[in-house]
Amino acid sequence: MAEEADVIVVGGGLAGLVAATEIADAGKRVIVVDQEGEQSLGGQAFWSFGGLFLVDTPEQRRLGIKDSYDLAVQDWLGSAGFDRDEDLWPRRWAEAYVAFAAGEKRAWLRAMGHRIFPVVGWAERGGYDAMGHGNSVPRFHVTWGTGPGIVEPFERRAREAERAGRLTFKFRHRVDALTISNGRVDGVSGAILEPDHVERGKSSSRKVAGDFTLRAQAVIVASGGIGGNHDLVRHNWPERLGKAPENMISGVPEHVDGRMIGIIEAAGARLINRDRMWHYVEGIRNWSPIWPRHGIRILPGPSSLWFDATGRRLPSPLFPGSDTLGQLQYIMSTGHDYSWFVLTQSIIKKEFALSGSEQNPDLTGKSWLMTARRATNKGAPAPVEAFKTHGVDFIVRDNLADLVSAMNALVGNDLLKVENLKAQIEARDREIANPYAKDTQVLNIHNARRYVGDRLIRTAKPHRILDPAHGPLIAVKLNILTRKTLGGFETDLDSRVFGQDGKIMPGLYAAGEAAGFGGGGMHGYRSLEGTFLGGCLFSGRNAGRAAARAS
Ligand SMILES: Cc1cc2nc3c(=O)[nH]c(=O)nc-3n(C[C@H](O)[C@H](O)[C@H](O)COP(=O)(O)OP(=O)(O)OC[C@H]3O[C@@H](n4cnc5c(N)ncnc54)[C@H](O)[C@@H]3O)c2cc1C
The residue to mutate among 46, 533, 541, having the most atoms of ligand 1 within 8 angstroms of its beta carbon, is 533
Please tell me the distance from the alpha carbon of residue 84 to that of residue 65, in angstroms, as a whole number.
34
Other CB atoms within 10 A of residue 377 CB: 14
Does any ligand 1 atom lie closer than 6 A to the CB of residue 200? no
Does any ligand 1 atom lie closer than 6 A to the CB of residue 153? no
| Ligand 1 closest atom vs CA 142 | 8
Return all residues near 322 (Cβ < 8 A) that are at least 6 apart: 124, 125, 126, 127, 134, 444
Query: Looking at residue 438, what is its pLDDT?
Result: 96
Burial code (b: 16+ CB inside 10 Å, e: under 16) for 126-135 equals bbeeeeebbb
Q: How far is the CA of 332 from the centre of ligand 1 (A)?
A: 26
Angle between helices 14-25 and 531-550 (to 10 degrees): 30
| Ligand 1 closest atom vs CA 512 | 26
Tens digits of per-residue pLDDT, 435-488?
Answer: 899 999 999 999 999 999 999 989 999 999 999 999 999 999 999 999 999 999
**Closest CA relative to residue 19, chosen from 235, 28, 87:** 28
Please tell me the distance from the alpha carbon of residue 536 to that of residue 514, in angstroms, as a whole number.
10
pLDDT exceeds 90 at position 368: no
Does any ligand 1 atom lie closer than 6 A to the CB of residue 44? yes
Does any ligand 1 atom lie closer than 6 A to the CB of residue 355? yes
Nearest 5°: CA angle at 22, between 18 and 23?
120
Does any ligand 1 atom lie closer than 6 A to the CB of residue 253? no
User: In the chain, count of helices (H) and strands (E)?
Assistant: 19, 22
Please tell me the distance from the alpha carbon of residue 200 to that of residue 202, in angstroms, as a whole number.
6
From residue 377, give the alpha-carbon distance in Å to each of 53, 63, 345, 363, 508.
26, 20, 11, 16, 51
Does any ligand 1 atom lie closer than 6 A to the CB of residue 47? yes
Query: Looking at residue 378, what is its pLDDT?
Result: 65
How buried is 7 (Cβ within 10 angstroms: 0-12 exposed, 13-18 middle, 19+ buried)?
buried
Secondary structure of residue 220 in the 3-state scheme: strand
Element (H, E) at 343: strand 338-344
Half-sphere exposure for 284 (CA within 13 Å, toward CB): 29
Q: How far is the CA of 47 from the centre of ligand 1 (A)?
A: 9
**Reading across the β-sheet that carries 30-34, which strands appear in turn?**
167-171, 30-34, 7-10, 218-221, 504-510, 496-498
Tens digits of per-residue pLDDT, 141-196?
Answer: 999 999 999 999 999 999 999 999 999 999 999 999 999 999 999 999 999 999 99
Q: Closest Cα to atom 49, ligand 1: which residue?
A: 43
Cα dihedral sign, 323-315-244-404: negative
**Closest CA relative to residue 421, chosen from 372, 473, 469:** 473
Does any ligand 1 atom lie closer than 6 A to the CB of residue 11? yes
Other CB atoms within 10 A of residue 230 CB: 18
From residue 17, give the alpha-carbon distance in Å to each of 20, 21, 71, 115, 212.
5, 6, 31, 19, 21
257: β partners: none
For 158, phi then psi, to 5°, come to -65, -40
**Reading across the β-sheet that carries 3-4, which strands appear in turn?**
3-4, 208-215, 184-193, 173-181
Tell me what the mean pLDDT of segment 288-310 comes to.
97
Does any ligand 1 atom lie closer than 6 A to the CB of residue 35? yes
Show contacts of 441-450: CB within 8 Å, 24+ apart. Answer: 441/302, 441/303, 441/305, 441/316, 441/319, 444/125, 444/127, 444/302, 444/317, 444/319, 444/322, 445/302, 445/303, 448/122, 448/301, 448/302
Tell me what the mean pLDDT of segment 54-80 comes to.
98
Please tell me the distance from the alpha carbon of residue 447 to that of residue 76, in angstroms, as a whole number.
22
Does any ligand 1 atom lie closer than 6 A to the CB of residue 51? yes
Does any ligand 1 atom lie closer than 6 A to the CB of residue 252? yes
Secondary structure of residue 381 in the 3-state scheme: coil
Query: Looking at residue 373, what is its pLDDT?
Result: 74
Please tell me the distance from the alpha carbon of residue 315 to that of residue 94, in angstroms, as a whole number.
30
Please give the distance of CA 167 from its chain centroid, rounded to a whole number.
Answer: 28
Q: How does DSSP assign 252-264, residue by residue?
A: S-TT---HHHHHH
Q: How far is the CA of 147 from the centre of ligand 1 (A)?
A: 11
Q: How far is the CA of 433 from the centre of ligand 1 (A)?
A: 45
Tens digits of per-residue pLDDT, 300-354?
Answer: 999 999 999 999 999 999 999 999 999 999 999 999 999 999 999 999 999 998 9
Query: Looking at residue 377, what is its pLDDT?
Result: 57
Q: How far is the CA of 222 from the centre of ligand 1 (A)?
A: 9
Q: Closest Cα to atom 27, ligand 1: which residue?
A: 224
For 294, phi then psi, to 5°, come to -60, 120
> Is the Cβ–Cβ distance between 219 and 185 less than 8 Å?
yes
Tell me what the mean pLDDT of segment 208-229 comes to.
98
Query: Looking at residue 250, what is its pLDDT?
Result: 97
| Ligand 1 closest atom vs CA 296 | 1
Half-sphere exposure for 126 (CA within 13 Å, toward CB): 21
Tens digits of per-residue pLDDT, 517-548?
Answer: 999 999 999 999 999 999 999 999 999 999 99
**Closest CA relative to residue 32, chosen from 543, 549, 538, 550:** 543
The conformational region for residue 43 under phi > 0 = left, psi -120 to 50 = alpha, else beta, is left
> Is the Cβ–Cβ distance between 547 and 504 less than 8 Å?
no
Does any ligand 1 atom lie closer than 6 A to the CB of residue 50? yes
> Is the Cβ–Cβ distance between 132 and 126 less than 8 Å?
yes
Can you list the alpha helix ranges (DSSP code H) found in 432-530? Answer: 440-449, 452-457
**Closest CA relative to residue 476, chosen from 304, 295, 251:** 304
Q: How far is the CA of 510 from the centre of ligand 1 (A)?
A: 14
Does any ligand 1 atom lie closer than 6 A to the CB of residue 536? yes
| Ligand 1 closest atom vs CA 256 | 30
The residue to mutate among 33, 48, 139, 537, having the most atoms of ligand 1 within 8 angstroms of its beta carbon, is 48
